Chains A and B, each alone.
Chain A
Amino acid sequence: MSFVEYGEYIQEGDIAIVFLGRESMFPVKAQHGTQTQTKYGVIRHSSDLIGKRFGSKVNCSKGGWVYVLHPTPELWTQNLPHRTQILYSTDISMITMMLELKPGSVVCESGTGSGSLSHAIIRTIAPTGHLYTVEFHEQRAEKAAEEFREHKVAHLATVKNQDVCKEGFGVVGVADAVFLDIPSPWEAIGHAKAALKEEGGRMCSFSPCIEQVQRTCLAMDELGFKEISTLEVLLRVYDVRSVSLQLPDFGMETQVEGDPKETGTGQQATAICKSGVTPKDMAGHTGYLTFATKSLL
């Protein structure tokens, strides 16, 4: 198994996602002799994980059970250790499609951050593409490189510890797409243009503040980028539930109309229907996505 290739059975060294519930998951590295504590008991890797099929139920010592899932970049995004604020799958999906990423694409990215987007990009460009990712924080750059190795995707990524605004991505004229998630993206547009292939490519800048977007769009325009377009995308989730609504009592009637869904007698009549209930809060803003095209003419 790797993040870019499905495997069927858990092997030593594999990452698996332990699933206890929607809001309760965490990654583990399968290793002989190791144990993992969960609220349902202990998972013994040698007997409970290694050799098991991804997706199976694993019984824990206290009698409860969990599922062990095959890692995907989406599950990783939900469970990775945050070193910075990360991008979530909603934005990642949009970025992937709007940058036209596919197997074989060469991508430049900065900043690497916690590697959330990086993993998604690597999955999409495998097996023949490459990701050049730049992170100016030394420890974060090292951690990212380490994770890529552990997830068996190091051959698809090059991590550079430098400042993209000053030194660029370390490559020129090779990228199909460039992505920027940095405080001052307008300072890196020139480097983005240089990193992109001569015949053209796509770029994207992600910024939380509109002032950043304004400066970035100006820089893109001045450097000859076309099709400059800014948008935002937000996820709305619905919780599917049976909702019980009370039926009013209008007093005595000669004929009582029976609704098959009615329960109770007379006073406490209710009707049940299925509904997609909206949550109390939702993510109202992550950042603005600005896309542009580099072309010869």
Chain B
Amino acid sequence: MEKISVDHRTIKEGDYVVLKRENVFKAVQVQIKRKVIFEKQWLHLDSVIGQLYGTSFEVAAGGTLQAPKPNPEKNPKETKEAGMDNRNIVDDGRSQKLTRDDIETLKEQGLKGQEIVQQLIENSSTFRDKTEFAQEKYIKKKKKKYDNTITVLKPSTRILALMYHGREPGKICHLRYDTLAQMLTLGNVHAGSKIIVFDTCAGLVLGAVMERMGGYGSVIQMYPGGEPVRAATDNFGFPEHFYKTLHEFPLCKVNLLLDGTLSLDKDQKETVSAVDESNGAMSKAPQDSVQKMGEEVEGEKDSAQASPEVDTMEVTSELPEDKEKEERAARRENKALEKKVKQEEKRKKHMEAAALLQGRNADGLVIAGRFHPTPLVLSLLKFVAPSRPFVIYCQHKEPLIECHTKLRERGGVIGLQLSETWLRHYQVLPNRTHPMLLMSGGGGYILSGITVAMDTATSSGPQKTEEPAPKRQKLQDTES
């Protein structure tokens, strides 16, 4: 048992990891003999295999990552010379004697980050005049620039959400990590439930939901267009069995499913795909391009596979043009076959998802993306059981205000809350504790609520679904 638990803490070939240097992260896959670029350097990750996650490495010349030393050097707290304040320090930009070229030379000589920092200190004419605090700040700043330590981390929602928010916030609709944290908790995402997810945040939210499900229960991803987007989901490096719980269902078939007229039988495959295309130009284009991509890949495979056939053909047919025609025919046949296999797989997956959705008893709904939330939630809530939470993320407040109004009109929801979180980091140092100087301006908004049984026709007109009506209707000032 012990071995297994250590195993998943050890970096293996093929693992999805996150590289970290200071506060910069990058998700990569560990592959031998493959170079990876990170922080303006090319790196070989071969030497990290077999090490524990969380290990820090020094970048050696050539981009290889060196295994860590057994005892990391801790700066001895020497009582160095320091000044009292900065009244006599003139910032003329000339206090550092080393030039850029000098530093480059030092780097080429193989000096480690810490040693370079030491050189900078020794060649600074004002260093000893700075106050102790200023000296510490200076050292920290130089370390940040010259220290070439990279840590290899195991992916998690925390790390990936931090990474995406720092690197490519546009891809995740500017979802800040604390907002994502709220969504997962408000949505009561946990093992064993059946959650519907609509995610156009590169699949980050989907991955976060899957992490909290732990491979138990099921997740159904509703997607627009031809294929679900899961770039970020892959970065989590989930084990194979997690993907068995992940299903997908195209938005363009939702109405058919709700009407009960969705048929995914083999024979009627043609009609379904025709409906597919008629249900929106959007769904057609990406589907085509994806299929084209698939064909390109297949083409490469086929040329390798076709060669033995070509060899036998060469014996029989002398003419090169005939040979070419037959090759092309064989390739086309293979392509058509592969396309059929893919379509069959897709159909099966949709059937599985439809079966899960049909019961209209999902345990939760999570929506995050650049689509207008109102139509999404009004439609997808139909698949959710009563007394279950739902969470909608939007970068902007106004669409959620409209959504709130429409949900009130619809009824069948309580506890509607429109909120955002305010996040602030602190620097905590003796006599220097204060909030950070820069703060996130915004992290998006969340509309959350709980489903309840829909009101049957007996309820009287403008009753608020929020509060059960008292015997006497009081006229209140305009509330939604």
User: What is A's interface to B at a CB cutoff of 8 Å?
Assistant: 4-6, 8, 19-22, 40, 53-57, 62-70, 72-74, 89-90, 92-94, 96-98, 100, 102-104, 120, 123-124, 126-128, 199-200, 210, 213-214, 217-218, 228-244, 272, 274-276, 288, 290, 293, 295-297
Contact = CB atoms under 8 A, between A and B. Distances in A.
Interface string B86-124: 000000000000000000000000000000000000000
Nearest to A53: B386
B361 to A, nearest CB: 8
Contact of A295 (B54, B389, B419, B453): B54
Closest 4 CB pairs of A and B: A55-B386, A103-B214, A55-B387, A97-B181
Interface string B27-56: 000000000000000000000000011111
B424 interface: yes
Contact of A69 (B182, B401, B450): B450
Contacts of A233: 178, 421-424
Given A63-B471, A104-B214, A230-B428, A199 B423 contact: no
Contacts, number: 215
Given A55-B450, A234-B422, 14 more contacts: A56-B452, A64-B471, A67-B468, A69-B387, A90-B421, A93-B178, A93-B185, A102-B214, A103-B215, A213-B428, A214-B433, A218-B430, A236-B421, A297-B54
A271 to B, nearest CB: 12
27 contacts: A4-B192, A6-B192, A6-B385, A53-B453, A55-B387, A55-B450, A67-B468, A72-B389, A96-B181, A97-B161, A97-B178, A98-B181, A100-B157, A103-B191, A124-B212, A214-B430, A231-B426, A234-B421, A234-B422, A237-B419, A238-B397, A240-B418, A241-B479, A242-B479, A293-B54, A295-B52, A297-B56
B68 interface: yes
Contact of B184 (A4, A93, A235): A93
B122 to A, nearest CB: 26
B480 A274 contact: yes
Band of interface residues on B: 35 or more
Contact of B414 (A5, A19, A228, A276): A19
A40 to B, nearest CB: 6
Nearest to B212: A102
Interface in B393-440: 397, 400-402, 404-405, 414-426, 428, 430, 433
Interface string B372-393: 0000000000000111110000
A92 B401 contact: no
Contacts of A89: 182, 185-186
A290 B433 CA distance: 13
B334 interface: no
B206 to A, nearest CB: 15
Contacts of B196: none
